[in-house]
Structure formats: C-alpha cells, structure tokens
Amino acid sequence: MLLALAAIWGSSFMFIKVAVREVAPGEVVFGRVVVGTLALIPAAPLLVGRERTLAALRRFWFPLLLLGVFNAALPFWFLAWSEKRLDSGLAAVLQASMPLFTAAITYAVSQTQRVTGLRFAGVVVGFLGVLLLVGEQPRGDVLSALAVLLTAFLYAASSVYAGERLREAPALVISLGSLAFATVATLPLGLAELPGSVPGWKVIGSVVALGAAGLSLAYLLYFSLIVGSGAPYAALVTYLVPALALVYGAIFLGESVTGTDLGGLALILAGVALGTGALRRRRLDSARVSDLLHEHVERFNAGVRTGDWAPMVERFGENAEIEFHGVPVGPFVGRAAIAAAYREQPPDDELRVLEQRQVNGRIEARYAWLAEPDVAAGELFLTPSGGEIRKLVVTFDRGVTWS
C-alpha cells in the first residue's frame, strides 16, 4: 500500500507536466480539484457516515475553507505554473522540503517544541540541498524553483494549522471539504482560462488522473495507512515520492537526471530524516505503543475496582472506535459512546496481558481474566494515533494461541 501511494503521488508531477504543455495552469488546477471532489463525495458518507460527514462540514467549514485555498488551490497553481519551465522530477525533489518547513514553522509558533541538536542540523542540511538545486537553475528558472518552494511552505503551514484546528474532524471529511472549497475558489480562473479547443486525450487523461488517483484514491490509501499502520509508517512516503518522480520523468518524459539533482535529493531527504526527528521517533514508537497498552490495562483494571471509567476513556481519541468480537454489543464510536458503554455494562473482572507483539505500528496481545490468570480469554488489537487509542478491537476467544 505504501508503494502504491508513493507511485501515485510520484506520478502526479509527470501528469502536471504533460497537462501544462497544452493548457493553462488554472485550467489544470480546476479540473484536478473538480475530479477529486466528485470522487470523494460518495466515499466520505460511505466510509464516515452521512450524518457524521454533514455535521463535521457544518462545524469546521471555516478551517476547511482556509485549507481549500492554502493547501489546495494556491499550491496546486504554483506547482502547475512552475512546471511550465521546470522538469517534473526537479519539482518533486524541491517539494520534498515540505517537512523542513513544517519543522521551522512549528519552532516559530510553538513555545514547547524546539529544533535543537541533530534536528537543527537536519534542517540546515536539508535547506543546503534546496539552495544547491535552486542555485543550479538558469536565471529564468529560479523563479519557478522558488514557486515550488512556496508550494512546500503552504503545504507545511496548512498541515500545522490543520493539526491545531481540525483534530476532531474525520480525515476523509477534511479532504472532501477542503477540495470542495478549492473547487469554488478556482472556478473563476478555470472558466477564464478555458482552452479554445478540446485538449488532446493525454491532457484530459492527465487531469483526470491528477484528481481521481492523485487526490481521491491517494487520500484513501494515505488515511488507511495512518489508521492501519500509524502515521510514522505513512510518513515514509515522503522519501519515496521524489525518487519515483525522477524515474517517471526520465522514462516517460525524457528528462535528464543530473548529479546535482541526486545530490540535492540526498541532502534534502537526509535533512528531513534528521530535522523532523524521524530516525529517533522510529526507535521510540515501539516503546510508546507498548506503554499505551499497559496504561490502558492499568486504567481498565482500576475502573473494575472503583467503577470510575473516566480515566480509562481519556486515553481514547475523540473519534476513537471500540469493537467487541464474540459478544452482541457495539461497536461504539466516539469517546462519549465508549464511556457510556462501560458505565452501562461494566466488566466484573480485571485482565492481564499474557503476551504481546507489534505489527506495522499496531499492538496485538493475548489477555486473560484475573479469575483464570493463565487461560487466554481472547485478544486485544490496539491501533494508536498521536499518543491516543484510535481503535481497539477486543475478541472473546477462550484458549486462543499464537503460533
């Protein structure tokens, strides 16, 4: 799934290059967001629920409007405009600097997060790679390269903003809402730049691919990766996209890959790995997920003893889910629903973990009840997200064993 996502996003730069050869950037962007919005309209209610989708759109309309402008309409246009002159592979490499801008913006706006030590060195190294690539461009192409960097900056600023204002919104609804507002924002320019004749099939196919695959399908894959394997694993796509874009450009568009391109790519990706703390975070993720499970078990057992389930429920995300397999209850969605379920049907025994393992960022455990501490009662499947429980599946399967 990760490779499929990287392949789709890596090809987006190639499709943009093909499209802007015949039509104006505004037309490419408008067609892209229209197709993406139309593809997500049936997906969001189906996967999130109609009522929940409409409620989230009403509640978060203004942040979604800002994302539509600054995370879609403007950066999409700057990228399309820049590829009128730049190779698609080079644009992808420059845009890979987005996590560096995220680290810098987070440092500027946060009083608690500081970029020091290796992370500061990583930001410096990454921007040296950016300077290498921009400085290598002919005078007429420098402005185009800077436009790609502005795209990366807008993506970074939007991600920081969304992390603060849209924590409680379903990710798929964020995608749908922001693209819908982007469609409205780009409509005037899209109509003004309509071509005088019907574009060729390559252009039409490229725009459809940018919307249907590069936005809607890619979003579904990306958020599925986050839910199933965790955000750190999904973030690995950052390292694959620019390399694949260089390959696409070389094979299908005849673009040259220079030593400067490869050197700049190496510096940027090394800077991203250090500057975002990705290397250190990957070493700590395993311990953090394990701690989350043990904390859940401790709070669960405390709830059994005291009847107070509030501390346990605090570790669940606002829109977390819990499922029970083997008993006719649930599923329950949302922290409030989970708390009500435990209050109304409280367990009468404490549990203990017999053994556990981690698979793609999710923790799995065999558990037993205290009354029979050596007999497995079932399994727990815990999916974390941002230090909270995103989803918990509890099975009741007495005597279950692992091979």
Question: Model confidence at 16, in pLDDT bands (50, 70, 90)?
Answer: very high
CB 176 within 8 A of CB 36: no
The mean pLDDT value of the chain amounts to: 84
Average pLDDT of span 173-190: 93
Higher pLDDT, residue 62 or 265: 62
CB 177 within 8 A of CB 71: no
The 10s digit of each residue's pLDDT in 234-252 is: 556 777 888 889 999 999 9
Residue 290 has pLDDT above 70, yes or no: no
Residues 6+ away with beta carbon under 8 Å from 105: 156, 157, 160
Q: Hey, what amino acid is at 119?
A: R
Percentage, residues of the chain above pLDDT 90: 33
- How much is the pLDDT for 277? 58
Question: Model confidence at 225, in pLDDT bands (50, 70, 90)?
Answer: low
Query: 149-158, 179-188, 231-240, 367-376: lowest mean pLDDT where?
Result: 231-240
Can you say how many angstroms the Cα of residue 390 is from the centroid of all Cα atoms in its chain? 15
CA trace torsion 169, 280, 237, 365 (10° rounding): -70
Average pLDDT of span 184-198: 88
Render 218-247 in DSSP notation, one character per residue.
HHHHHHHHHHHH-HHHHTTHHHHHHHHHHH
Cβ count near 294 (within 10 Å): 13
The 10s digit of each residue's pLDDT in 19-39 is: 999 999 999 999 999 999 999
Largest Cα separation within the chain, whole Å, is 78
The 10s digit of each residue's pLDDT in 251-288 is: 999 998 888 888 888 888 887 777 655 555 554 455 55
- How much is the pLDDT for 184? 96
The 10s digit of each residue's pLDDT in 327-382 is: 888 788 888 888 888 888 888 899 999 988 877 678 889 999 988 888 999 999 99
Number of H helices, E strands in the chain: 18, 6
Strand partners, 396: none
Which of the 8 DSSP states describes residue 333? E
The 10s digit of each residue's pLDDT in 68-81 is: 999 999 999 999 99
Residues 6+ away with beta carbon under 8 Å from 75: 150, 151, 154, 155
- How much is the pLDDT for 284? 43
Tokens linked to 109: 């706006």
Q: Strands 388-395 and 316-325, how do they pair?
A: parallel
CA atoms of 158 and 166, how far apart (whole Å): 11
Question: Model confidence at 226, in pLDDT bands (50, 70, 90)?
Answer: low
- How much is the pLDDT for 197? 83
CA atoms of 152 and 99, how far apart (whole Å): 8
